[in-house]
Amino acid sequence: MNPQEKKIIDTVDRLRDSIVDFAMRLVVEPSTLGNEAGVVAVMADELRRLGFATALIPLKNDALTTHPGFAPVPWALEDRNNIVGSLSPGGTGGHSALFNGHLDVVNIGNADLWTHDPYAPVVIDNWLYGRGAGDMKSGVAAMTYAAHAIQLAGFSLCAPLIVEAVIEEECSGNGAVACLAAGYDAEAVLIPEPFGPTILTDQVGVLWFKVGLCGRPAHVLQAPSGINAIEKCYPLIRALRQLETQLNATGVPDAYADIEHPINLNIGIVKGGDWPSTVPAEAEFHARLSFFPGTRFTDVCGRIEDTIRQAAASDDWLRHNPPSVAFYGFRSEGHSVARDLPAFTVLDDCHRALTGKAAASYVSKCTTDLRAFHWFGSGQSTCYGPVAENIHGTDERVNIDSILHVARAYALFLARWCLLAE
């Protein structure tokens, strides 16, 4: 590293407490679906305090809902926003960059299973605990302060920088698409998802769907005369498990050849019935299914519909009362990119400068907001983030040293990709 870069890294190190404090202030906000206003306000205030020009990007707008990447959802989009901060260039040359992170989190589940209050973040033995600490509010703090470190060290960038914090990453991707539709894009996009300091080259596609079916209600004293809608879900789920097995066994890309069970079906929601002593008349289940890069969303939808149709055909009741299948939320196709893209090479060089070795590649079994930038953006995009454990689970936590490492790597990337202007 040259003296300018060393000064930037030293500045990041001095910001350690500020980065952790900001991450904790984000974690305090319970930003589940539809409840993101508080955390967006915290992010907006921090960006403005650090000298960014800011803009709110609403989900409810025609540019999003007419965009090819828009995912229709059954919940309201009104009065829900993303926040974007930007730094104008102070020179010429270099390449533009965009840091993207999501502020939304999944539900905590049973709070009694948590060792600590999930929205009262705590640091223990160099780990920060709390819902969203790893996925991915610590990464948002790291990327924000990486940009701030450039300024604090006395430099500006030769090319534009965008720092955006979005919502709905966990369910639709509409936040990132809304920002793209509003014109926020760059030649390189980095997302600090908590997969560790690796360079993501491949990720699967993901879709959500729900299956609804009806039964015939009856009092339990005449239970055999009724049709239990909940129990009629069982053969449909079994059939979907068979589809999952088929997807794991056919058309496996080379990147996934050595990964155990890369395609996963999850039955995430089950609803049905309204009284313990009544045979339930209705039921539905909601599921997530992944699929390999190179497979079209519409093709997987067709296979799901065919699977449900065939399973129903073998049941006397369901054959005459066919289940419904509806798709909502995620409709994200997977992708694969070369490891030697110019932005990836610069990021790898930054990692090597900090650690003495090359960054590992990462092949993902889930989806991220990379989907939006790969399919609809103009730049090269990847994930490189901190080390976290138990994301979406109980006692989610993130390693604090790894947060600081990400901030260092992102700051160094800006110096080398955007170039410095004094």
The answer on 277 and 169 residing in a single domain is no
Whether 380 contacts 120, CB under 8 Å: no
The answer on 317 and 229 residing in a single domain is yes
| The pLDDT of residue 42 | 98
Neighbours of 92 (CB within 10 A): 9
| The pLDDT of residue 255 | 97
Q: Exposed, middle or buried by CB within 10 Å (0-12, 13-18, 19+), for 404? A: buried
* 193, two tokens: 């998802």
| The pLDDT of residue 82 | 98
DSSP letter assigned to residue 323: P
Here the contacts of 271-277 (C-beta below 8 Å, separation 24 or greater) are 272/229, 272/230, 272/233, 273/229, 273/230, 277/219, 277/220
| The pLDDT of residue 10 | 98
| The pLDDT of residue 422 | 72
The answer on 313 and 197 residing in a single domain is no
The answer on 372 and 304 residing in a single domain is no
The answer on 187 and 45 residing in a single domain is yes
Pairing of the two strands 161-166 and 127-129: unpaired
The answer on 209 and 199 residing in a single domain is no
Nearest residue to 57 via CA among 75, 44, 71, 42: 44
How far is residue 98 CA from its own chain's centroid? Answer: 16
The answer on 19 and 49 residing in a single domain is yes
| The pLDDT of residue 129 | 98
The answer on 266 and 176 residing in a single domain is no
Number of domains in the chain: 2
pLDDT tens, residue by residue, 7-47: 999 999 999 999 999 999 999 999 999 999 999 999 999 99
To which residue do tokens 């993303």 refer? 82
The answer on 162 and 50 residing in a single domain is yes
Final residue of a structural domain among 332, 358, 387? 332
Final residue of a structural domain among 304, 332, 360? 332
Task: Encode burial over 245-265: b for 16+ CB neighbours within 10 A, e otherwise.
Answer: eebbeeeebebbeeeeebbeb
Nearest residue to 138 via CA among 188, 193, 95: 193
The answer on 288 and 256 residing in a single domain is yes
Final residue of a structural domain among 332, 352, 379? 332
The answer on 221 and 198 residing in a single domain is no
Q: Going residue by residue through the chain (422 aa), what tens digit of pLDDT does each one get?
A: 899 999 999 999 999 999 999 999 999 999 999 999 999 999 999 999 999 999 999 999 999 999 999 999 999 999 999 999 999 998 889 999 999 999 999 999 999 999 999 999 999 999 999 999 999 999 999 999 999 999 999 999 999 999 999 999 999 999 999 999 999 999 999 999 999 999 999 999 999 999 999 999 898 878 788 999 999 999 999 999 999 999 999 999 999 999 999 999 999 999 999 999 999 999 999 999 999 999 999 999 999 999 999 999 999 999 999 999 999 999 999 999 999 999 999 999 999 999 999 999 999 999 999 999 999 999 999 999 999 999 999 999 999 999 999 999 999 999 999 999 97
For the chain, the helix, strand and coil percentages under 3-state DSSP, each to the nearest 5: 40, 25, 40
Domain housing 395: 3-203+335-421
Nearest-10 crossing angle of helices 233-249, 297-313:
140
* 113, two tokens: 């299973």
CATH of residue 326's domain is: 3.30.70.360
Q: What is the pTM of this model?
A: 0.95
> Position 202: which residue type?
D
Mean pLDDT of the chain: 97
The answer on 380 and 305 residing in a single domain is no
- The CA–CA distances, whole Å, from 242 to 160, 176, 251, 279, 315 equal 49, 33, 16, 28, 17
CATH of residue 359's domain is: 3.40.630.10
